[in-house]
Amino acid sequence: MSLLKNSENVIVFNVERNGQSLDEFLFSNEISGRFFRRLYREKNIFINGEFQRKNKVLKGGDIVSIIIEDEIENTLPEPIPLDIVYEDMDLLVLNKQPYIVVHQTKSHQQNTISNGISYYFKNKGIKRKIRFINRLDMDTSGILLVAKSSFAHQQMALQFENNEVVKGYIVVVAGIVKKDQDVISLPIGRGEEKSIKKTVTQKGKEAITKYKVIERYKEASLLDVEILTGRSHQIRVHLSHIGHPIIGDTLYYKPSEYIGRQALHSHYLKAKLPRSKDNIELKAPIPNDIKNLINHFENY
């Protein structure tokens, strides 16, 4: 069999030294045990183009390849416009618009980002299931990562779990934030049973939010926020807790006549690509409704 080469369906690893078994080598390249077992069971792992036992000892110069099989995505395809920030064999990165749900729920089977991606994949001949790496609330805009394979999803999810991803948000909050920058380290959990609202509670999970003030206005502040953990509603809960809720956030504050949703936008993300491990910086421009809100406070 000829050696397999890097493609959408093939991930190639070059062995640089003698002595590791096949499974040890792939574990050292951050392939999870669960993913390895599935690949091995389906005979989708090769050494120099041939399937081998998992305890096969590798030599420097060997080439290890894993096969990513085609998949069927059953989400109803709909021609929903997608603002694509970046795309390669492994990732699709979107600048999500506000007022649209990311993934299907019982009450949202249509007009979701998932429906739009399903249409895009089918139109481009991409035979992959949709795997979201991060999530954004319906009314939050900005960078949304989608993995094109279980390999890409596992590799990116591991970075998020290890807090290796830099996630930056632009936020407009009520009131004048006095500290130029600060770290909010307070656990977050569910406020009441069956409620979607979260709160700061000692029974919650660790949550760390960093912020710095970009600009102060008469009755509001513009912040650049970085989250070091990924709890649901984390930024909204933490900023509300310190007395500076996000403008337009109807769950944790009140409606605004100047913007129809919470003024929260994921504008920056830095991570490593799944295959090459090269750093990638992704940016999503501030949407017009937040620009208009900032303009209102600048001229207030």
State the CATH number of the domain containing residue 14. 3.10.290.10
Q: For residue 262, is pLDDT > 50?
A: yes
Question: Is 265 within a domain?
Answer: yes
Q: For residue 1, is pLDDT > 70?
A: no
**29 and 171 both lie in a single domain:** no
pLDDT band at 8 (very low <50, low <70, confident <90, very high): confident
The answer to whether 15 touches 64, Cβ cutoff 8 Å, is yes
Whole-number pLDDT of residue 7: 82
Question: Is 278 within a domain?
Answer: yes
**159 and 233 both lie in a single domain:** yes
pLDDT band at 4 (very low <50, low <70, confident <90, very high): low
**197 and 253 both lie in a single domain:** yes
**115 and 247 both lie in a single domain:** yes
**198 and 247 both lie in a single domain:** yes
Whole-number pLDDT of residue 217: 96
What are the tokens at 56? 């096969």
Question: Is 119 within a domain?
Answer: yes
Could you tell me the residue range of the domain that residue 254 belongs to? 84-298
Question: Is 5 within a domain?
Answer: no
Question: Is 79 within a domain?
Answer: no
Strands of 97-248 (E only): list them.
131-132, 141-147, 166-174, 181-185, 188-190, 198-200, 208-216, 220-227
Average of pLDDT values for 120-126? 96
**190 and 252 both lie in a single domain:** yes
Last residue of a domain, one of 36, 67, 98: 67
Whole-number pLDDT of residue 3: 63
Number of domains making up the chain: 2
pLDDT band at 234 (very low <50, low <70, confident <90, very high): very high
Q: How far does CA 198 lie from the centroid of its chain?
A: 20
Which residue do the tokens 């949550």 mark? 207
Question: Is 75 within a domain?
Answer: no
pLDDT band at 300 (very low <50, low <70, confident <90, very high): confident
Question: Is 1 within a domain?
Answer: no
**Which three-class secondary structure string do you get for 187-221?**
CEEECCCCCCCEEECCCCECCEEEEEEEEECCCEE
Tens digits of residue pLDDT in 61-88: 999 999 999 999 999 999 999 999 999 9
Whole-number pLDDT of residue 2: 52
pLDDT band at 199 (very low <50, low <70, confident <90, very high): very high
| Residues with a known catalytic role | 137
**129 and 38 both lie in a single domain:** no
**99 and 62 both lie in a single domain:** no
Question: Is 97 within a domain?
Answer: yes
Q: For residue 179, is pLDDT > 50?
A: yes
